[in-house]
Amino acid sequence: MGGRYLGAAAWRPALVRQLAVMTGVLALLAPGLIQRLQTVDIPAIWAAVARVPLADWALALVATLASYLAVAGYDRTMHRHLATGIDPGRAGRAGVSALAIGQMVGLGVLSGALVRWRMLPDLGATGALRLSGAVSASFLWAWAVLTLAALWVLPAPVGVPAAPVLMAALLGPAVLGPILRVSWAPNLLTMLNILGLSAMDCLAACIALWAVLPGAVGFGDLVPVFLLALGAGLLSGAPGGIGAFELVLLAGLPGLDLPRVLAATLAWRLVYLALPAGVGAVLALRSGPRKPVSAARPMPRTPPPEAALIGQGGLAWHPQGFVAGRTPHALVALTGGVDPAAMRRAARAEGRVPVLYKLSARQAVAARRQGFRLLPVAVEAWLDPARFCDGGAGRAGLRRKLRRAESAGVKAALDLSPDRQACARVNAAWVRARGRERGFSMGRFAVGRLGDDPTIVARQHGCVVGFATFLAGWEGGQPVWVLDLLRPDPAAPDGTAQAMIRAALAAARAAGVARLSLAAVPISAVPGEAGLIARLERRLCPRAGDGLWQFKAGFAPDWQRRYIAAPGWLSLAVGGAEIARAVLRPAPDMRETPRCDAEYEFASASAAWQGKGSFATEGPDP
């Protein structure tokens, strides 16, 4: 978020805007309010406040407490969305204090930012201002939706025939933002949470006013008028919304005279604004230094193969110790063996649902015991480099392909310093022939990192006709290679891809690699598979994975199922759909950032496995 103090320049535009709005609104309202106040008996108003029954004060206090509990949850939600990393308890207390003081003194965005900066110094001045602006903007959005709903459903002083259309216009961005990949837009879970907490906040505040409002005003009659008055007070920026709030109440409740309304609003401000502002000031003054947080788990010296994908713009090393991918509504763990309970907590801290992707059968059983729902999504092809040979009836087709490549003069071998420009030309030709590259959990070509991982290059008479890259990592304490990119030139001789895999097996055997994966094949490509995802994939993309299955089956590998898991069927469907979209239609602006960059991992230093030529040379952690 950027916790550095950037000077008064970061605050001056917001201050000027807020002062201009407040001055303009007060200038419009002041003449009418002054004219009406000339006939008011001030001692009579205080006497009316004193006559409010004790039970009504108690109800107003309980409603005020409920309202500020919603405010605390609201601030925690925005902290999750902005990924501030602030402890939820501190975030909630700062939010309550900021709102209580901001409503009392006016200029809510700026005064709230100052209180948050005081109580959360690790945000920095700009971060506090950004958070305060996000809180105010999102609350105004929720207030507009709730007000339109109230004007549509409840008795209202003014009719709004277009209320449903306006509500749809306001709710549309909440749905379309994640779909259109607007980076700053909260996801649908966050927006629903904001809407629910705002409803609790506004209704509780209305109950607090209704409790001290004399006369027979029905609660259903008061709600739409109160929401309009609340919005007018907020938009005015005046302390406590004074002036605008009263004028809207008087206009919406013509049966009440001015002294009764002023007595009720005064009592309401005492219990709903003044008392919380005092508590908030005490909390702000007593706020201490930041509590130490538990240290993040750095990337191990023996990372999983998926860690080699970090730096492609979509994946990162999570502080809880796994390779994480983020979709609009899901936090996805791509590292097997993640504790499902810890994964739930990590996802909740980001306002997302937890999704475990490509689990082994054993890991899937453990997730099911924790209440996760499961579906098979793929099968992965594994080979043992030490025992692999071309013989056997199951590899007859492989031998034919290899002979064709050999007779055409194709030679493939591990290359520690591949010709990057030649490989880039091959990759460009492959993309033109096959369409766009995949993303998310699947590697994408980056010329700057070519050679950082095991790279097999195929040449024909000295010219590069293909290359293959592998993700080097560890699984179960053993070094493994996982196929990442397989890029034969479309004009390369038949059997070039098979020759590169055989060369990779030979290089892996020489490096002491225990297992080599040919990566996964969609579950729909498995002959005879009749599961839900297999049937759905065959309907949407008929025969999409048949070629992959045929190619990998030629090596007679050991097939292992891979699963997707989430806490419920709805979260499983949403997470699975978003993963599929991220894989099939990745963001086009992939950055070639080094894996050791702090933006993508939390390790303090580069691991030995990242060096060129050091594939699987380190032993497992003790």
User: Rounded to whole angstroms, how far apart are CA atoms 53 and 227?
Assistant: 25
Evaluate if residue 609 carries a pLDDT over 60. Answer: no
User: Rounded to whole angstroms, how far apart are CA atoms 471 and 453?
Assistant: 6
Evaluate if residue 255 carries a pLDDT over 80. Answer: no
Question: What DSSP string runs through 63-120?
Answer: HHHHHHHHHHHHHHHHHHHHT----HHHHHHHHHHHHHHHHHHS-HHHHHHHHHHHH-
pLDDT digits (tens, 9 = 90+) for 345-355: 889 888 899 99
Evaluate if residue 333 carries a pLDDT over 60. Answer: yes
The secondary element (H helix, E strand) that includes residue 546 is helix 546-553
* Cα angle 405, 406, 412; round to 5: 80
User: Rounded to whole angstroms, how far apart are CA atoms 76 and 317?
Assistant: 23
Q: Could you tell me the two tokens for 266?
A: 């005064």
pLDDT digits (tens, 9 = 90+) for 1-37: 333 334 445 555 655 555 555 555 555 555 555 555 5
Evaluate if residue 335 carries a pLDDT over 60. Answer: yes
Query: What is the chain's mean pLDDT, rounded?
Result: 81
Q: What is the DSSP letter of 394?
A: G
Give all domains of the chain, ordered by start, each with its CATH number.
Answer: 55-286 (no CATH), 305-379 (no CATH), 380-561+590-610 (3.40.630.30)
Evaluate if residue 216 carries a pLDDT over 70. Answer: no
* Cα angle 286, 289, 290; round to 5: 125
pLDDT digits (tens, 9 = 90+) for 274-313: 999 899 888 888 875 555 555 567 777 788 888 888 866 5
pLDDT digits (tens, 9 = 90+) for 425-480: 999 999 999 877 888 888 888 888 888 889 999 999 999 999 999 999 998 889 99
Three-state SS for 421-465 is HHHHHHHHHHHHHHCCCCCCCCCCCCHHHCCCCCEEEEEECCEEE
Q: Which residue has the tokens 């909390």?
A: 283
Region of poorest pLDDT, from 89-103, 473-487, 544-558, 587-601: 587-601
Residue 604: band (very low, low, confident or very high) from pLDDT cuts 50, 70, 90? very low
Within 10 Å of residue 454's Cβ, how many Cβ atoms? 27
pLDDT digits (tens, 9 = 90+) for 374-395: 999 999 999 999 999 988 888 9
Phi, psi of 195 (to 5 degrees): -65, -45
Evaluate if residue 46 carries a pLDDT over 80. Answer: no
Q: Is 520 exposed, middle or buried (0-12, 13-18, 19+ CB in 10 A)?
A: buried
Sign of the C-alpha dihedral, residues 614, 616, 619, 621?
Answer: positive
User: Rounded to whole angstroms, how far apart are CA atoms 378 and 534?
Assistant: 9
Higher-confidence position of 411 and 257: 411
Distance of CA 582 to the CA centre of its chain: 14
Give the bridge partners for 515, in sequence order: 480
Residue 534, pLDDT score: 81
Evaluate if residue 159 carries a pLDDT over 80. Answer: no
Q: What is the distance between the terminal CA atoms of the chain, rounded to a whole angstrom?
A: 36
User: Rounded to whole angstroms, how far apart are CA atoms 608 and 474?
Assistant: 13
Residue 275, pLDDT score: 92
pLDDT digits (tens, 9 = 90+) for 94-111: 999 988 888 887 766 788
Distance of CA 170 to the CA centre of its chain: 21
Evaluate if residue 517 carries a pLDDT over 90. Answer: yes
Give the pTM: 0.76
Higher-confidence position of 533 and 60: 60
Residue 23, pLDDT score: 55
Evaluate if residue 598 carries a pLDDT over 90. Answer: no
